[in-house]
């Protein structure tokens, strides 16, 4: 079983540009050794998501601020969970001693 081929964002954008300059997409696909359906799919995705058509690996790219915010939210959730555990533990220990 062959490994699935992945293409870089720049390669996809170059292929899209070439496909708009040429008449025959099948011919372009044959030259590049890719399926013509891929070119049509990439063009469609580029049209509908022109801001960020190919973020890569299924993970949307984030700005440094967005990454920091996500990390802080995760840290906050962890600290809240620790606090809740400690509250429960304090309740258990005070009942036994009191």
Q: Where are the domains of the chain?
A: 7-58, 62-98
What pLDDT, on a 0 to 100 scale, did the predictor assign at position 62?
74
Q: Which two tokens stand for residue 86?
A: 């400690």
pTM: 0.53
What pLDDT, on a 0 to 100 scale, did the predictor assign at position 29?
94
Q: What is the CA radius of gyration of the chain?
A: 25
Q: How far is CA 13 from the centre of its chain?
A: 17
Q: Which long-range contacts (CB under 8 A, 24 or more apart) does 6-11 make?
A: 7/34, 9/54, 9/56
Q: Which two tokens stand for residue 35?
A: 């399926």
Q: Which two tokens stand for residue 56?
A: 């890569």
Q: Which two tokens stand for residue 29?
A: 């696909």
In the predicted model, residues of the chain with pLDDT beneath 70 are 1-2, 50-52, 55-61, 97-98
Q: Which two tokens stand for residue 19?
A: 């496909």
């Amino acid at each position: 079983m062959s490994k699935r081929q992945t293409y870089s964002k720049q390669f996809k954008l170059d292929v899209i540009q070439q496909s708009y300059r040429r008449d025959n997409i099948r011919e372009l696909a044959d030259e590049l050794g890719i399926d013509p359906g891929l070119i049509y799919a990439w063009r469609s995705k580029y049209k509908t998501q022109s801001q960020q058509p190919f973020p890569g690996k299924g993970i949307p790219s984030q700005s440094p601020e967005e990454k920091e915010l996500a990390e802080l939210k995760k840290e906050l959730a962890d600290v809240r969970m620790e606090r809740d555990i400690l509250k429960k533990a304090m309740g258990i220990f005070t009942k036994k001693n009191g």
